[in-house]
Structure 1
C-alpha cells in the first residue's frame, strides 16, 4: 500500500495525523498550519496592539515553550511589533521547579528574550514545599493557583508590563469548563472561558493565544521543531481535582476527537447566559481570515465548522433556535393562561437565583476594588491570597508555640 500524501501540499509523504481532525499532513505543513491557526486566533480576537510590551508566563513546560517560540516566529513574520519578555514564577518546589527554571533560562538565550523570575518566598514568605509540609497534599493546588495568579500580575507590574500571555491550551480550558460545571460555578466559568481576562479596571490584562490548540498538537509541534522544554509533571498535581476532569476529557477525546473544542465552545455559550457577564471568544464566526492560507477541509483552528461537529450540525441547531426565538411572540402559554384564570390560585413567578449557601438572591455583579492588606485587585476587602496566608501564618505560629 502506497504511503499517504500530505492533504495540504499533495507532494510530500504524510507523517502526522492531526489529533484535532485526523487530517494527514507532512512535517512542514503541520508546522505551518499550527502557526497559522495561532495567528488567526490572535488577529481575529485582536489580542495585541502594535508595539505592545508583552510578558510570556514561562514555566519551562511544553505549553509556555511552544507559546514563546510561536510568538517569536509570528512577531517576526507578521510584524506585530511586540516587545516580548519571559516572566517565570518560582513556587519553591524542589526537584521540579528548580529544574524547570534551568530550561527557562536556556529558552531566554535561545529566543533572545529578557527573563524575570519572581519567587513565592519573595512575595509571600512561603514556598510551596513549606505550604504542603504545613497543610498536606490535599488542597495544596488551591494555594498554588491563587498565589501564582497574583505572582504573575505582580511580576508584570515590576516590569512595567500590562499584558501577560499564558500557555493555556484547549485541553486546559475544557478541563476548567468541566470543573466549574460540576461545581455549579457559572460565574467563574464565564471568566475562565474568555480568551482575554481583565478590562479597563484591571491593572494587568491576560490572554491565551493557544486557547484553541490541542495539547497533543502542542507536543507534536515541540517535537518536530526540536524545542527545549521540561516534561516532568508537578509532584503535587496528581492529588488535584483537575486531574479527574483531565482523565474524563481524555476518555471523551478517544471516542470523539472534536470533544475538546465542543466543550470549550459549550462553555463559551453557557458563559453568555450569566447575567452581567461577558465572554470573549474568537471573533471569526467560522470564517477564514484574509491573507492566511488555511486548509479548506481541516482547519478547525478556533473550533469553527470542521473543528466542532461534522455536517454543520451545530450551525443547523443554532439556526433553528433563532427561528424559534423569532416565533416566540406568537406562542401562547396554555398552562399559564389556565392558572391565571383560576380564582385564588397562585400566579406563576420567576424563581430567584439560588446562592451557594442555599438562600435565594437576585443576580449581583462583583465590584472590583483593592485588598486592604496587599493592595492587589480584589472584589473583597481582603483578597483570597491574603486570607490563605493568614491561615498559614496562624498554623506556623501554633507549631512554633
Structure 2
C-alpha cells in the first residue's frame, strides 16, 4: 500500500497526524500551519502594535519555549516590530526551577533575547520550598499561583514593560474553564476565557497567543523544530486540583479530539452571559481563516482560530439529519425548526447579552473593580491583595515557630 500523501501539499509523505483534527500532514506543512494559526490569532485579536516592548513569561518548559520561538519567527516574517524580552520567575524549588532556569539562559542566547530573572525570595522573602515546609503540600499551588502572577507583573514593571505574553495553551484554558465551572465561579470563568486581560490603562496587560493551540501540537512543534526545553513537571504539582480537571479533559479528548476547543468555545459563550463581564476571544469569530488553512480546508486541514477542524459549519445539520433517519432515536429528537423566529431575532439583537439565570440561593456575579493594594501597591480588587494576605499568614507561622 502506497504511503499517504500530505493533505496540504499533496507531494510529501504524511508523517504527522494532527491531534486537534486528525488531519495527516507532512512535517513542513505542520510547522507552517502551526505558525500561521498563531499568527492568525495575533492579528485577528490585535494583540500587538509596532514598536511594542513585550515580555515573554519564560519558564524553560515546552509552552514558553515554543512561544518564544514562534514569536521570534513571526516577528521577523511579518515585521511586527516587537522588542522581545524573556522574563523568568524563580520560585525557589530546588531540583526543578534551578534546572529549568539553565534552559531559559540557553534560550536567551539561542533567540538573542535579553533575560530578566525575578525570585520569590527577592519579592516576598520566601521561597516555595520554605512555603511547602511551613504549610505542607496541600494548597501550596494556591500560594505559588498568586505569587507567580504578581511576580510576572512586578518583573515587567522593573523592565518598564506593559505587556506580558504567557504560554497558556488550549488545554490550560479548558482546564481553567472546567475548574471554575465545577466551583460555580462564573466571574472567574468569564475572565479566564479572555485572550487579553488588562488594557492600555492597566499597569501590565497579558495575552495568550497560544490560546487555541493544543498541548500535544506544541510538543510536536518543539520536537520537530528541535527546540531546547525542560520537560520535568513541578515536584509539588501532583497535589493540585487542576490535575483532576486535566485528567478528565484528557479522557474526553481520547473520545472526541475536538473536546478541548469545544470546552473553550463553550466557556467563551458562557462568559458572554455573565453580567458586567465582556469575554474576549479570537477577533475573527470563525469568519476568517489562516491562508494556509483556507487552501487546505477541503482536504481536512485546519479552519480558523479555535476551529475543531471542520470549518464547513454543517456539522449540526448533518447530525440532526442522521438522528431523523434513525428510527430508534426518534423520541430523542428536538425539532429546532419550531423555535420562535421572534425569539431568535430578539436573541440576535441582544448579541448574547442574556441575563444569567441563577437560583434563589446562588450568589450574584459581581464585576471585578481593580484598585491598588494598600500594603504593596499591586493592583487588586481588594484593599489588601491576596499575595499580602497569604504572606501575612506565612509570616505569622514563621514567628510562632521561632518563638
- Structure 1 partner of 2:396: 394
TM superposition shift of 1:50: 1.0
Correspondence for 2:343 among 309, 325, 328? 328
- Structure 1 partner of 2:102: 102
- Structure 1 partner of 2:241: 241
Report Cα offsets for 1:296-322 as digits up to 9, x if no partner.
1321342236358974329999xx989
- Structure 1 partner of 2:259: 259
CA, structure 1 residues 309+282, in 2 after alignment: closer, same or farther (shift >3 Å)? same
Q: Where in structure 2 are the equivalents of 1:207-286 lying within 5 Å?
A: 207-286=207-286
Native 8 Å contact 1:20 1:307 kept in 2:
no
Native 8 Å contact 1:258 1:307 kept in 2:
no
Matches of 2:209 and 2:158, distance apart in 1:
23
Native 8 Å contact 2:131 2:140 kept in 1:
yes
CA, structure 1 residues 322+153, in 2 after alignment: closer, same or farther (shift >3 Å)? farther
Native 8 Å contact 2:290 2:304 kept in 1:
no
Native 8 Å contact 1:169 1:214 kept in 2:
yes
CA, structure 1 residues 84+314, in 2 after alignment: closer, same or farther (shift >3 Å)? farther
TM superposition shift of 1:367: 1.9
- Structure 2 partner of 1:183: 183
Matches of 1:371 and 1:315, distance apart in 2:
54
Native 8 Å contact 2:193 2:267 kept in 1:
yes
- Provide the TM-score with structure 2 as the length reference: 0.88
SS at match of 1:86: strand
Matched, 1:384 2:386: yes
Matches of 2:186 and 2:268, distance apart in 1:
11
Report Cα offsets for 1:176-219 as digits up to 9, x if no partner.
00000000000000111100011344210100000000000000
- Structure 2 partner of 1:298: 301
- Structure 1 partner of 2:8: 8
TM superposition shift of 1:325: 6.7
- Structure 2 partner of 1:312: 315
Native 8 Å contact 1:261 1:308 kept in 2:
no
Report Cα offsets for 1:123-162 as digits up to 9, x if no partner.
0000000000000000000000000000000000000000
Count of aligned pairs between the two proteins: 378
TM superposition shift of 1:117: 0.2
TM superposition shift of 1:285: 2.2
CA, structure 1 residues 55+386, in 2 after alignment: closer, same or farther (shift >3 Å)? same
Matches of 2:229 and 2:151, distance apart in 1:
22
Native 8 Å contact 2:8 2:301 kept in 1:
no
Matches of 2:9 and 2:344, distance apart in 1:
52
What residue ranges of structure 1 are gaps of 5+ in the alignment?
Answer: 332-349
Native 8 Å contact 1:52 1:82 kept in 2:
yes
SS at match of 1:116: strand
Native 8 Å contact 2:293 2:303 kept in 1:
no
- Provide the TM-score with structure 1 as the length reference: 0.89
SS at match of 2:309: helix
Matches of 1:352 and 1:9, distance apart in 2:
49
- Structure 1 partner of 2:366: 364
Matches of 1:153 and 1:23, distance apart in 2:
39
TM superposition shift of 1:327: 1.6
What residue ranges of structure 2 are gaps of 5+ in the alignment?
Answer: 321-334, 347-354
Native 8 Å contact 1:305 1:312 kept in 2:
no
Report Cα offsets for 1:38-59 as digits up to 9, x if no partner.
0011111111011110000000
Matched, 1:140 2:140: yes
- Structure 2 partner of 1:23: 23
